[in-house]
Amino acid sequence: MLGAGMSGICMAVKLKRAGITDFTVLEKSHDVGGTWRDNTYPGLRCDVPSAFYQYTFARNPRWSHGFSAGPEIHRYFRSVAKRHGLDEHIRLGTEVVGAEFTGGRWRVRDAAGNVREADFLVSATGVLHRPVQPDIPGLDEFGGAAFHSARWDHTVPLAGKRVAVVGTGSTGVQIVTRLASRVAELRLFQRTAQWVLPLPNWRNDPLSRALRARVPALTAAEYEVVKQAFNVLVAGMLRPGWQRTLISEACRLNLRTVRDPQLRAKLTPDYQPMCKRLVISNGFYRAVSRPNVDVVTDRIDHVEPRGIVTADGRLHELDVLVLATGFDARAYLRPIELTGPNGRTLSEAWAEGPRAYRTVALPDFPNFFMLMGPHSPIGNFSLVPIAEAQADYALRWIEGWRRGAYATAAPSPEATERFNQGIREAMPGTVWASGCQSWYLGQDGQPEVWPWSPGRHTAMLADPHTHEFDIHAEGAANR
């Protein structure tokens, strides 16, 4: 398995619970936890309710807040891995560079030149894990400290400094909200305004946490209630209806709390709420309204040793430059190169953009499954139940192989194309296609996200659809 983040831990636990112990998780970094390990920036918080951002097999009754902070979430995933004995299966500091299917097995090669053989290969590398470094002329010439938000340098002092944040997605918003009162000057360089939905982040008092711990049924019930409410509300926004009206009006009312008309104009998007990933924050507008904060909408022309120069010729002198410029949303497991039994590579298969069969598999790559693969329900949905559904799907095929039902299996090109055609046909009318530039869009300019509810995705993966696979029985035997 590739990756020991949220989805990799999920798959590993599912395997152990099924009695499968002969597996190895290869993790390139020094610790488990994926995005919650890599991101440590000030203000980091999950924008999905904690009650719903957890495994069904490892519910946590002691979340401190309704929307928990990054370090707490990281501790949760580490504790799940430890509690289920995954340490003996995880190989940290092992970066995979390629894998080839030959002789009926996968041969997985790491950066040190070691080769491991496996009957199945599961990619659990996540969606947003490769930081995007913006192509800004002169960036390397900046005389102060500069770093990407996912590589936060905690040795750099910020008190009394002039700080710039480039980017206004969820990360940029969280950083600005936390730092506005802690630095001398803060400049937020905004290319695109974002819709911001304010949601209260309540604190779970010690008594309620103790009660949940003592009565597990309460935690389970809370999970189901939040799941239903969250999915009805967020999934309902995909198409016109009361949910979209409700959320849109909430965002617009929130924007009206900005009293300065010029600042409000800068912060007003020109697209529908949720066309881009909706930003959740109840403190951002207060932060950017502070006298020491400036929202800069002029295009960045270049960086020089003293700071950022915008297109109007103005020099913004800085001490620290933070790049909240996001991630490559189409990387998935790349730059790892896969080679199928017919010599076809992943680069060739995805030459026109990432495509998948039902979000979990690829034609011409047998006994290979992906968690959080192309077209998965991402956006503002909780990714944990999505990973569980995909892991369960992969597990069904692995268990079939163990019973000797087949030797190799891969989805057919025809079935994969039918699935992708269905995605394309369902996209018009969704909020994703309402007209904006976002990381949801592929290289053809069309949204690559799931156009239906997460519940439909789970229901789809409940059926293995064996008739849509190219199955070979040669070499199959009870194992």
* 82-96 tens-digit pLDDT: 999 999 999 999 999
Asked if residue 343 has pLDDT above 70, the reply is: yes
Across the beta sheet with 105-110, the strand order is 115-118, 105-110, 96-102, 337-339
For residue 269, give the nearest of 197, 198, 191, 194 by alpha carbon: 194
Residue 42 lies in a domain: no
Query: Smallest Cα–Cα separation from 331: which of 428, 165, 448, 168?
Result: 448
Residue 476 predicted with pLDDT over 80: no
- Model pLDDT for residues 4-39, shown as the tens digit of each residue: 999 999 999 999 999 999 999 999 999 999 999 999
Q: How far is Cα 342 from Cα 365, in angstroms, rounded to an integer?
A: 9
Looking at the chain, the number of H-run helices and the number of E-run strands are 13, 20
Q: Please, which pLDDT band fits residue 479 given cuts at 50, 70 and 90? A: low
The domain containing residue 311 runs over which residues?
A: 139-202+210-323
> Residue 477: what pLDDT?
61
Do both 335 and 425 map to the same domain? Answer: yes
pLDDT reported for residue 63: 97
Query: Could you tell me how far CA 137 lies from the centroid of its own chain?
Result: 29
191 and 227 inside one domain: yes
Reference 272, options 194, 379, 172; nearest CA is 194
Residue 238 and residue 116 in one domain: no
User: Looking at the structure, do residues 255 and 370 belong to the same domain, yes or no?
Assistant: no
Angle formed by the axes of helices 6-17 and 383-402, nearest 10°: 40
**385 plus 466 within the same structural domain:** yes
- Structural domains counted in the chain: 2
Residue 314 has pLDDT above 80, yes or no: yes
Give which of 429, 458, 446 is closest to 237, Cα–Cα.
429
Q: Are residues 156 and 288 in the same domain?
A: yes
246 plus 275 within the same structural domain: yes
Query: Residue 260: exposed, middle, or buried by beta-carbon count in 10 A (0-12, 13-18, 19+)?
Result: exposed
Q: Express each pLDDT in 199-236 by its tens digit.
A: 999 999 999 999 999 999 999 999 999 999 888 888 88
CA distance 266 to 192: 9
Q: 74 lies in a domain?
A: no
- pLDDT-derived band at 379 (thresholds 50, 70, 90) equals confident
- Mean pLDDT calculated for residue range 354-381: 95
Residue 310, both tokens: 């915008």
User: Do 292 and 335 share a structural domain?
Assistant: no
Q: In terms of domains, do 156 and 172 share one?
A: yes
Q: For residue 437, give the CATH number of its domain.
A: 3.50.50.60
Domain limit, last residue, from 323, 357, 387: 323
Give me the pLDDT at residue 473, please.
Answer: 87
Tokens of 451: 């156009």
Give the CA-trace dihedral at 469, 474, 475, 476, to 10 degrees.
50
User: 305 and 169 share a domain?
Assistant: yes
Question: From CA 350, how far away is CA 314, in angstroms rounded?
Answer: 42
Q: Does the residue 1 lie in any domain?
A: no
Looking at the structure, tell me whether residues 12 and 109 fall in a common domain.
Answer: yes
Instruction: Give the model's confidence band at 366: pLDDT under 50 very low, under 70 low, under 90 confident, else very high.
Output: very high
Same domain for 145 and 235, yes or no, is: yes
Residue 56 covered by a domain: no
Q: In terms of C-beta density within 10 A (0-12 exposed, 13-18 middle, 19 or more buried), how is residue 299 classed?
A: exposed
Last residue of a domain, one of 297, 323, 349: 323
Q: What is the CA radius of gyration of the chain?
A: 23
Name the domain boundary from 265, 296, 323. 323
296, 299, 279: which is closest to 288 by C-alpha?
296
- Nearest CA to 297 out of 314, 322, 285, 274 is that of 314
Q: H or E element: which one contains 261?
A: helix 261-266
pLDDT of residue 478: 62
C-alpha 307 chain-centroid distance: 31
Is the model's pLDDT at 378 over the cut of 90?
A: no
Q: Confirm whether 231 is domain-assigned.
A: yes
Q: Let me know if residue 79 belongs to a domain.
A: no
